[in-house]
Structure 1
Amino acid sequence: MSDPTIDRDADAGGPIQSRVKLRRVPLRTLLPNLVTLLALCAGLTGVRMAIEGRLELAVYLVVLAAALDGIDGRLARLLKGTSRFGAELDSLTDFVNFGVAPALILYIWGLHDLGHVGWVAGLVLAIGAALRLARFNVALDDPNKPAWAGAFFTGVPAPAGAIGALLPIYLEFLGTPRSPIGMPVVAIYVVFVAFMMVSPLPTWSGKQLGARIKRAYVAPALIAGALFVALLISYPWLVLTLVVLVYLALLPLAFAHHRRLTLRDRAAAGDASAGS
């Protein structure tokens, strides 16, 4: 019986080629996916560290996963190695790192004191991250978005939500005492972060940070970046707390900016229809 997957030359009587050919994948498309997998390893290892009682290291690894998540997309665009596979892998990784991992870390840290209520709060956080990522993937295919919409996310992005949800742990590491009254407040705060991720609230995406900057600002930007990393390493809990508080304070400004741009487009559309 002949192999149906192989064409045979009627004249030569030998196989010409297989119907299914394996394409060579450029190396530049693999590097961003490798960074994504490193982020996944960081997030999963953070869960292991939390189980072992090494909560500081667990939080470090979630923060590292968030940093790697910010690198892989930019690296893919820089190397022109974007792909549908990479986008799907990134979404699945983000769900684990910024939905499952912070929920389990928070539960192991203190939400377990609330029993079922604490577990439900963790579940809501993970579900919020999943819904947030699913909505983001669908929104990518929306052809009706204005050009400026790329500077905004709808809802708090999953990495920011994960970093923000861990705020109670930062505060405890800074010396804030844990109390029975405080843990229900933590559960409410975690649920609040989950709803912020799935809310229609516009937030700045931060993608403009990867754009070109003027040559005169290159040195100050490098110094500012180095200073931030040095402060994060030296005073991690204080810096992370300040980052979360500043981010929360900027949410109303992002909403006002988005509303102003929306009203400008509506006014321009109204003028165009009136002139036609």
Structure 2
Amino acid sequence: MPRPARVLALANQKGGVAKTTTTLNLGVALKDLGARVLAVDLDPQSNLSMSQGIDVEDLGRGMYHVLTGAASITEILQVREIDVAPAGIELAGAELALSAMIGRERALERALRPVRELYDYILLDTPPSLGLLTINAMVAADGVIVPVQCEYLSLRGLAQLRETLRQVRENLNPDVDIVGILPTMYDGRTIHGREAVALLEENFGDRVYRTRVGKTIRFAEAPVQGQSVIRYDPSSQAARWYRALAREVAAGPAGVALPGGAREAAA
């Protein structure tokens, strides 16, 4: 029997920390390691979908329809660099629609059941909030990866995320926890950047990935072309960062056994 996919939510209630960039590029890099990858767009801004060249204005059905039971996730999948379950602006109404449903926190978990054995990784791109869409992601997930901007004020928001995760563990999903912290927008030339990473390591230990994702214009250019940075500029430093992250994820506690010993190669 095939092993169900490892479901990883990428979450941080603060916007602009590279959640979508990380979801897409980690997914593409994992695929390059031999994994079967699905990325699920749970953000009404639809940036993940647009970053793969999907026309969200003419989408038809998307994750809103999946979460509300009007469509199966298999009906909306689009094959791009990786498989994508896209979202349109109507997803902004999902929290209101779900609020009247019994078991509303488990809508995504139920929706993913038909595809969990078709993939090695399912990556959930969440909105910049701790609302019902993010709660659904945490309930459906085996673990949470938290991209964190290397600034002091960004680090303070982690306490709220940890409290939300604690409540989800107590009431809905006892197994979910933070499996990785990814420092983003890192500038090792500054004392502030180095101190921010030191503070993360002090609080989260080896759950902080060794990979540090810095700043580069490539992250703004690639989505305009509907591509990951790995495909847009394969030799760039940006692509190397996410390949390194994929190797860490594949070799670590969030990893799965990949074809041809790819996980061992990642280690």
TM-score band, normalised by the shorter chain? under 0.3
Greater RCO (CA < 8 Å, at least 6 residues apart): 2
Higher relative helix content:
1
The normalised TM-score by structure 1 is 0.23
Higher relative strand content:
2
Larger radius of gyration between Structure 1 and Structure 2: 1
